[in-house]
A and B are shown apart, each in its own frame.
Chain A
Amino acid sequence: MIKITNLEKTYRTEDVETTVLHELNLQVQEGEFVAVMGPSGCGKSTLLNILGLLDDPDAGSFVFDGKETVGYSERRRAELRKHAIGFVFQSFNLIDELTVYENVELPLVYTGVPAAERKQRVKEVLDKMRIMHRRNHYPQQLSGGQQQRVAVARAVVNRPRLILADEPTGNLDSSNGNEVMDLLSELNEQGTTIVMVTHSEHDARYSHRIVRMLDGQTVAENILT
């Protein structure tokens, strides 16, 4: 599903140049659950941003579903993103002015799903995340675990084939964290491919494969079963 070859990414400010990714290679199969680990600054998040088409590599190739995405216009990337990719963030990133229901509905609004169908699909996913009873609350009125469940609901409501999770349990206590990891596993079992960046060995064990990164390159892989 994902094939990355010789990826390069450098950030430049006026006088400092920082190479974040260097000759990075990675493949992810359809239905896989991959955890990316490594110390701070090793390039995990940049990798995730490129996978999510939020950022552009400087060089190298990123083939998604057999199609080269490097050089895609902003418009095509947004198209691909909204149909195929869901995101889960460490800090949840819910819109404060929208209710739980509206936050989850948002991706459907942008993909132009008709209102009636939207209603049904949001209800479905909220039920599944066991957060339906909170649908009219605003994010500030929820606990961290609940907020992350809403974020996961939002990530999956469009039925994406790939979920990118950036330290999804980083802001949660262990019981809430486990709950979220269970949810992701469940989604993976139902066929969704997941790439997760994490610092937590515990969370990484939920995955099929751990990719370890250092200084912008993959240095090791552990296959878990």
Chain B
Amino acid sequence: MLRHYLTVTVRNLLKHKLIAGINLFGLTTGLTCCLLILAYILHETSYDRRVPEAERIYRVTRDFYNPDGAATLQLSAVAPVVGPLLKNDFPQIEKITRLLLFSPVVVRHADRILTEDSLMFSEPAFLDMFAVRMLSGDARTALSEPNSLILEQSAARKYFGDQDPMNQELKLDGRIACKVTGVYQGLPENSHLHPAVLVSFSTLNDSTVYGERNLRTSWSNNAFHTYLQLPAGYDARQLEAQFPAFLDRHQPQNKRATDYVRPSKMTALQLQRLTDVHLHSNRADELEPNGDVNRVYIFGIIALFVLLIACINYMNLSTARAALRAKEVGVRKVVGAQRSEIILQFLGESVLITAVATGLAVGCTVLALPWLSRLAGTALPPQLLWQPAVLLGLLVLPLVVGVVSGLYPALFMSSFQPQQILKGFTKISGGLAFRRVLVVVQFVVSIGLLVSTAVVGLQLRYLRQAPLGYDRAQIVTLAYPLPLRPQYEAFGQALQQQAGVQALARSSRIPTGRLLDASDAAAGIGDSLRPTSANVKYLGIDEGFLPTYGIKLAAGRNFDPKAFPTDTLGFILNATAVRMIGWKSPAEAVGQAFRYGGVLGRVLGVTQDYHFESLHQPIVPMVMFLSSATSRSSYNYVSVKLAGGNVAGSLQHLERTWKEFLPDEPFTYTFLDESYAKLYQAELRQTLLFSIFAGIAILIACLGLFGLSSFAITQRVKEIGIRKVLGASTSTIVMLLSSDFMKLVLVAALLAFPLSWYVMHRWLQDFAYRINMPWWVFPLAGLAAAGVALATIVSQTVSVARANPVKSLRTE
């Protein structure tokens, strides 16, 4: 019986190659999309799960609040005191470890000088909690002594080549000498952190490095990533509930504050599950850019949509084809087949086709994974799919998809009454309404995907092209190492001797980065100095900063410490700060008294607003001041504005000058344009993938329409013949045949518009700066879908409409 069904299935497929091809192609493509997206989702959700006690490990995070209770800062790290105090107060904490990122930092071995991007100070417990595998050295002692460090294996190769790194010396930042006490295997790719060098935490006790006292007392340096492990089955919320009291108990009162405010009103600590870090955390100072759970959902939904469209094709084409197989069903029933046997036969067919498609899809997936890895910017090895659950899924998949797509056609065809069919009534009119619904569903999804792709693309174009308020072209940023400080003037002069260098500036942070540092501010309004509730962020800049970045002043003037030495007590605000403080205009602010972080001075100028941070963030109030003995800020970066034209030559000049002044510092530069592009890389990748999958969905839907319309036409050949005999022209017949389908596309468009409007409206809300919903995208997407559908149908109708009616009438 099985062999018999198999034979019939294969012969049917071969006989109707076009339909079989469309079905097989659609299902294979749909399943391939699903498997690719599944691999991506599995990868994204696998982060940090390799850590043995991952479910019990939490990261301590910290929020800061305005007086009105709004969160102004959400940090992924906490102050150094928090870890030991937590361990002391809460005995239920089994283990705790702190990490301090100390990068980029110059690391030197003999004459080899390299910049290390991922060097961290680490407590010994890290190795145990994160199950770091030592390749040499002893995990228990490797990080116990001050000035010892362990290297990730590729870092070991980087510094020592084939030499044995053990007991060799590395010098960090030109001052901290450390001995190599171990080499470890790097953390897997799906880990939220990848330290290349781990330096013993006790090294920080040295006051020239950080200082034991600071470690013990600092509540303000929230740079210590702190992880703790709780007992199995312990509810982390129980511990979290005790954190406000913990803060009130330990955090000293703010000395400058006029009234006593409990620390727990201004700041809070939270516990974040280790396995939530990658997908659910997007805090300031994350160790690495994280993923986004919404992206996982979006792609999951797209995968289901593509598969749904492919299944619908199968249902549609099989049901449409029913007329051709009606006689077979009739004969089978006459010779004694039960309805259940007919249902099983047709279900078997769809399961078989799906099984073949699944096999092909697995092959396509393996071939396409490297491509997806490149697009997604993460490694997606095929091994992701070789896990028991997925393999079992692959076995069940043909059954599920086959039954889902085959059930309706099977029920429909098995219901044929043999006595009618065998008398020659082969025109099967049933199922038409259902097929129409299915076509509408396909086009709702297709049009929705078209609209979404367009809106996402437009928003990203807006982000890339939006006026930022500063000029990012041809700006190269460099580090500002200690040895450069005393000779910066001379360095600048040497650089500017070449015409290719237009301007240079120093600053504490550079645009495209975050603005995280804030202090208390008070502004002169009327006669008095009033503390401001605005959370004003600060940026240390020199007099070259505004001209180098082309930032325009709305009022007042730039710093000029040579002409006015008191400018070291001056402030420049941005327009947002002026507005939030309460001055009526930038001009009114100029000359007013302003106190920031304990320094009292005057407002010298007000800049127009510019997007220092990415366009995901709203423009925050900010204050800029010169770095000086009295200010807390120091410069960390040099920005160099190059002239257009010979950029390569200018870079060579830059490097020569750097080497001349700083022979011991590596020359590492970044174009600001690149940093800017990185801000939107995730979205750009997402849009690209989104467009590709949306395109595939539409392609499959149109293939289905192609098959369906070709069948509809076959069914109506006689009608067309009669109409032609009665005088209908080719064009009226094409109109007649197309209008049926076009009506469906129209209905689909009317359904898709509000749905996609709602979804995209929600998506846009995530951007501080966004486009207005482009209304024209909707009719355009509808027209595009209708156009493709029409082309598909017309390509088939024309030949039928032109055919000699005598022929078509004879076919009956």
Contacts and interface: CB of A to CB of B under 8 A. Distances in A.
A124 B107 CA distance: 92
B334 interface: yes
Interface stretch (A49-57, A64-72, A128-136, A174-182): A49-57
Nearest to A75: B338
A97 B333 contact: no
Contacts of B103: none
B334 A54 contact: yes
Contacts of B331: 93-95, 106
Interface stretch (B419-427, B432-440, B531-539, B772-780): B419-427
Given A102-B4, A106-B331, A97 B336 contact: no
Interface stretch (A33-41, A80-88, A203-211): A80-88
A43 interface: no
Contact of B424 (A55, A81, A91, A95): A91
Interface string A93-120: 1111110001001110111000000000
Chain A CB count within 10 A is highest, among B8, B12, B15, for B8
B424 A78 contact: no
B340 to A, nearest CB: 8
Contact of A81 (B11, B328, B334): B334
Contact of A95 (B1, B327, B336): B327
A78 B12 contact: no
Instruction: Bin the interface of chain B by size.
Output: 20 to 34
Interface in B9-33: 11-12, 15
B15 A109 contact: no
Contact of A97 (B8, B418, B423, B424): B8
B334 A87 contact: yes
Nearest to B424: A91
A91 B418 CA distance: 13
B648 interface: no
Contact of B335 (A55, A102, A107): A107
B402 interface: no
Interface string B592-622: 0000000000000000000000000000000
Q: Is the interface of B mostly helix, strand, loop or mixed?
A: helix
A45 interface: yes
Contacts of B328: 95-97
Contacts of B339: 74, 78
A111 B334 contact: no
A136 to B, nearest CB: 13
Contacts of B11: 97-98
Contacts of A55: 417, 419
Contacts of B336: 78-79, 81-83, 107, 110-111, 158
Nearest to A91: B424
Interface string B332-350: 1111111101000000000
A54 B419 contact: yes
A149 interface: no
A158 B335 CA distance: 9
A109 B419 contact: no
Given A93-B331, A102-B7, A45 B423 contact: yes
B330 A93 contact: yes
B419 A110 contact: no
B334 A110 contact: no
Interface of A is mostly: helix
B418 A54 contact: yes
Given A54-B418, A102-B7, A109-B4, A97 B334 contact: no
Contacts of A106: 4, 331-332, 335
B156 to A, nearest CB: 67
A60 B410 CA distance: 33
Nearest to A105: B4
Given A91-B424, A97-B328, A154 B338 contact: no
Given A93-B327, A94-B331, A74 B8 contact: no
Contacts of B8: 95, 97-98
Contacts of A110: 332, 335-337, 341
A89 interface: yes
Contacts of B333: 54, 78
A59 B198 CA distance: 92
A82 B334 CA distance: 8
B430 to A, nearest CB: 15
Interface in B304-347: 327-328, 330-339, 341
Contacts of A105: 4
Residue among A79, A83, A106, A111 having the largest count of chain B Cβ atoms under 10 Å:
A106
Given A97-B12, A102-B7, A109-B4, A49 B335 contact: no
A146 B338 CA distance: 28
Nearest to B337: A110
A89 B327 contact: no
A52 B331 CA distance: 13
Among B15, B330, B334, B419, the most chain A Cβ lie within 10 Å of the Cβ of B334
Contacts of B332: 95, 106, 110
A96 B332 CA distance: 12
A81 B331 CA distance: 12
Contacts of A109: 1, 4
Contacts of B330: 93
Contacts of A52: 334, 419
Nearest to A78: B338
Contact of A89 (B15, B338, B422): B422
29 contacts: A45-B423, A52-B334, A54-B419, A74-B338, A75-B338, A78-B337, A79-B336, A81-B334, A82-B336, A82-B337, A87-B334, A89-B422, A91-B424, A93-B327, A95-B8, A95-B327, A97-B12, A97-B328, A98-B7, A102-B4, A102-B7, A105-B4, A106-B331, A106-B335, A109-B1, A110-B332, A110-B335, A111-B336, A154-B335
Given A78-B333, A94-B331, A97-B12, 17 more contacts: A45-B423, A49-B419, A54-B334, A54-B418, A55-B419, A74-B339, A81-B334, A81-B335, A91-B424, A93-B422, A97-B15, A97-B328, A109-B1, A110-B332, A110-B336, A110-B337, A158-B336
The 3 closest A-B pairs by CB, nearest first: A82-B336, A107-B335, A49-B419
Interface of A: 45, 49, 52, 54-55, 74-75, 78-79, 81-83, 87, 89, 91, 93-98, 102, 105-107, 109-111, 154, 158
